[in-house]
Amino acid sequence: MSMSRSIIAAMAMACAVCSAFQTHPANYVHLPSTRLWTSPTSTLGDASKFTGGNSPLPLNPKGIIFDMDGTLIQHSIDFADMRRRIYEVADADPIGRDLERDCVLALAKQLSAEGQEKANMIFADIEKRAVDDMTLMPGGVELLSFLKENNLECAVLTRNIEKNVQHMQQLYLNEIEHIEGQLFDPLVARDTVVDYSGEPLKSKPHPDGILYVCSVWGCNSSQVIMVGDSANDDMAAANRAGCGGAVLLTQPDGTSLDTDSGYQVGYSEEEVWERRPSLRVESLCELKTYLQVLLKDRRENDETENRNDVGFVYSTQGYSFDIPSIGAKQV
């Protein structure tokens, strides 16, 4: 038994702490109980990272959808300041003063024409400064290089704007060699229009963006992994869409990097559940380690299945073995 499988099997008992959350969407791909997932460097104390059940990631992923701010790039937006400034505009707006103080993007769209103009100026100012200070997340280059080497699709789903997403993509392309065309396809921002309606897709936590990416990739959402730093937005969108994996990037103490997360506080049981990740990691490097184990074991499974399918064929040139996925090979 390989070291990764030994460690994975040892985690089975520890992962029982998650038994209260053993009910999952039907489209989750579950592994046998002896192959619960963990990082090769993890200890039994890390069992809390597996918050969703037997398998936090789909066995045969088609690709990964990434959030941008706080996931692919380091946080450079002061969300608390953004909310304060937008709420001030809403307080002074004849329509906005009676609206619920929730998502600032949704709130801004409901203001008067003058209020919307002021809110958009605030967004533009904050996001311009964020672009000037944009810094790639540690481990991002290595993770994306690994995904491309293993032919996994990559997409971005963000509440930021397309111009800034393109800038982020170029920063990564400057660091990653041998990439032709786009690194991320598709790129879905809050101003992305994908049909003839002229209206952008609804932003996270609505699942529309994830389902659109799945349609582009030609796959089911159960084959997709969503990675982000916000339980409120990224994890909720992933669970609503039925993603095969919902990975939350957290700080070492397990709290979300998103200043506006607050999940599991003040929500109904259903809302708490949809904000719950299937796996939490503390860095993109750690996520790469999980994926390395996933793909290694998948290759071993494929090889085992192929060996089981071997048939011997006799010809005038002697015996050969036939593996359907490879073809006849002479002995």
Read off the pLDDT of residues 143-157 as tens digits, 9 standing for 90 and up.
999 999 999 999 999
Spatial separation of the C-alpha atoms in residues 72 and 147, rounded to whole Å = 14
Instruction: Tell me what pLDDT residue 256 has.
Output: 65
Q: What pLDDT is recorded for position 5?
A: 44
Tell me: pLDDT of 46 over 90.
no
In DSSP notation, 303-326 reads HHHHHHT-EEEEETTEEEEEETTT
Inter-residue contact 108 to 116 (CB < 8 Å): yes
pLDDT score of 222 = 96
Least confident of 45-49, 121-125, 186-190, 298-302: 45-49
**CA–CA gap between residue 150 and residue 153 (Å, rounded):** 9
Choose the weakest-confidence range: 15-24, 148-157, 218-227: 15-24
Residue 162 has which token pair? Answer: 């397309």
Rounded to an integer, the average pLDDT of 110-120 is 95
Q: pTM of the entire structure?
A: 0.70
Q: Percentage of residues in the chain with pLDDT exceeding 70? A: 70
Least confident span in 64-73, 302-311, 314-323: 314-323
- For residue 128, give the 3-state DSSP assignment: helix
The mean per-residue pLDDT over the stretch 247-259 comes to 74
Mean pLDDT over residues 183-211, rounded?
93
Q: Does position 279 have pLDDT exceeding 70, yes or no?
A: yes
Tell me the β-bridge partners of 280. Answer: 248
pLDDT of 311 strictly over 80: no
Comparing 259 with 231, the larger pLDDT belongs to 231
Identify whether 205 is preceded by a cis peptide bond (ω within 30 of 0): yes
Q: How far apart are CA 43 and CA 291, in angstroms?
A: 18
Does the structure show a pLDDT above 70 at 130? yes
Average pLDDT, the chain: 77
Domains and CATH numbers, the chain: 3-74+137-298 (3.40.50.1000), 79-132 (no CATH)
Residue 48 CB partners (closer than 8 Å, separation 6+)? 17, 18, 254, 280
The whole-number pLDDT of residue 240 equals: 95
What's the chain's Rg over C-alpha atoms? 23
Give the pLDDT of residue 255: 67
10 has pLDDT over 60 = no
Average pLDDT of the segment spanning 193-213:
92
Neighbours of 314 (CB within 10 A): 8
Say how far apart CA 285 and CA 136 lie, in whole Å. Answer: 13
Q: For tokens 């619920």, name the residue.
A: 100
User: Comparing 5-9, 18-22, 44-48, 121-125, which segment has the lowest mean pLDDT?
Assistant: 18-22
- Going through the chain in order, the beta strands assigned E by DSSP cover 63-66, 153-157, 187-188, 224-228, 245-249, 279-281, 311-315, 318-323, 327-330
Give the pLDDT score at 204: 93
102 versus 238: which is more confidently predicted?
238
Residue 218's pLDDT is 98
Query: 157: closest CA among 75, 226, 231?
Result: 226
Two tokens, residue 170: 């170029």
By residue count, the chain amounts to: 331
- On whether the CB atoms of residues 39 and 290 are closer than 8 A, the answer is yes
> Which range among 30-34, 100-104, 178-182 shows the weakest confidence by mean pLDDT?
30-34
Q: In this model, does residue 193 exceed pLDDT 60?
A: yes
Per-residue burial over 150-162, b if 16 or more Cβ lie within 10 Å, else e, is eebbbbbbbbbbb
CB 96 within 8 A of CB 115: yes
